[in-house]
């Protein structure tokens, strides 16, 4: 719901994306962008499910503007960003000499996506509020003595600072989980991922 193409994100448009996704995974790309992805999925063991889940996350953004608790927010973060980690691992590859389980590498990739999205959310609180959206757990806001009105009015209080410190700690926990998997990737893939983790 943000960015230059936000006004074009309609249920109908997302239905088209879903159909095109099925087609390109079956070797029937619609345009050159689809062809590039179709070529990738023909060369690497990429699963379609994270792509479908990402479209579901975009659908969620069309109707949901509040998250009751972190479980709900985590699901949203998975849909819109955790999926990127799952899409990327098959292309980046796991190092041949890695002793880690495949599951643990995917778990770390998922954690990086979640960490990045949580960081986006914390960075964009004001921008999201101007669009009437709050991507923070409502129950945790209430426990901190904060309300939607505090966010919409941009009140920066001690309660807000304390609340945000807790949210930042959570994001850092996911970054720490993500870091465990970086050194299990193929060597050529490690530095770009590590750079994204350190710079985000």
pLDDT of residue 182: 95
| Secondary structure of residue 94 in the 3-state scheme | strand
The reply to whether 26 and 95 lie within a common domain is no
Domain co-membership, 21 together with 34: yes
Mean pLDDT in residue range 31-35: 93
**What is the Cα–Cα distance from 184 to 89, expressed in whole angstroms?**
10
Residues 91 and 88: their CA atoms lie apart, in Å, by 5
pLDDT in tens, 67-102: 999 999 999 999 999 999 999 999 999 999 999 999
Average pLDDT for the chain: 94
Check which CATH number belongs to the domain holding 58 and give it: 1.10.600.10
Q: Specify whether 140 is located in the same domain as 83.
A: yes
**37-76 tens-digit pLDDT:** 999 999 999 999 999 999 999 999 999 999 999 999 999 9
CA distance 24 to 111: 27
Structurally, the chain folds into a number of domains equal to 2
- Please give the Cα distance from 91 to 187 (Å, whole number): 13
pLDDT for residue 3 is more than 70 = no
Residues 62 and 158 in one domain: yes
Taking the C-alpha atoms of residue 150 and residue 148, their distance in angstroms, rounded to an integer, is 5
Please tell me the predicted confidence (pLDDT) of residue 5: 57
Specify whether 70 is located in the same domain as 33: no
Task: Give yes or no for a contact between 200 and 179, defined as CB atoms under 8 angstroms apart.
Answer: no
Structural domain for 6, as ranges: 1-43
Say whether both 31 and 63 belong to one domain. no
Give the per-residue pLDDT at 9.
80
Q: How far apart are CA 36 and CA 20, in angstroms?
A: 13
Shared domain for 54 and 37, answered yes or no, is no
- Shared domain check, 6 and 72: no
- Name the phi and psi angles at 153, rounded to 5: -90, 0
- Looking at the structure, tell me whether residues 38 and 50 fall in a common domain: no
Which pLDDT does position 200 carry in this prediction?
Answer: 80
Phi-psi category of 132—alpha, beta or left, where left has phi over 0 and alpha has psi -120 to 50? left
Same domain, 32 and 51: no
What pLDDT score was predicted for residue 141?
A: 98
Q: What is the mean pLDDT of residues 177-183?
A: 95
Mean local confidence (pLDDT), 152-178: 97
Instruction: Indicate whether 122 and 51 sit together in one domain.
Output: yes
Residue 194 token pair: 């590590």
Q: Do 73 and 104 sit in the same domain of this protein? A: yes
């Amino acid at each position: 719901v943000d960015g230059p193409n936000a006004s074009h994100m309609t249920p109908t448009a997302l239905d088209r994306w879903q159909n095109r996704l099925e087609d390109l995974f079956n070797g029937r790309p619609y345009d050159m962008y689809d062809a590039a992805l179709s070529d990738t999925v023909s060369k690497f063991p990429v699963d379609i499910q994270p792509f479908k889940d990402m479209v579901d996350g975009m659908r969620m953004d069309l109707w949901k503007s509040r998250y009751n608790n972190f479980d709900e927010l985590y699901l949203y973060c998975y849909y819109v960003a955790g999926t990127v980690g799952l899409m990327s691992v098959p292309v980046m590859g796991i190092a041949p000499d890695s002793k880690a389980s495949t599951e643990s590498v995917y778990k770390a990739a998922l954690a990086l996506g979640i960490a990045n999205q949580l960081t986006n959310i914390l960075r964009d609180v004001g921008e999201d509020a101007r669009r009437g959206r709050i991507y923070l757990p409502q129950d945790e806001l209430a426990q901190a003595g904060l309300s939607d009105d505090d966010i919409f009015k941009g009140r920066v209080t001690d309660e807000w600072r304390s609340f945000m410190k807790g949210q930042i700690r959570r994001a850092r926990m996911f970054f720490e989980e993500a870091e465990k998997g970086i050194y299990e990737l193929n060597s050529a893939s490690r530095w770009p991922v590590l750079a994204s983790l350190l710079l985000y």
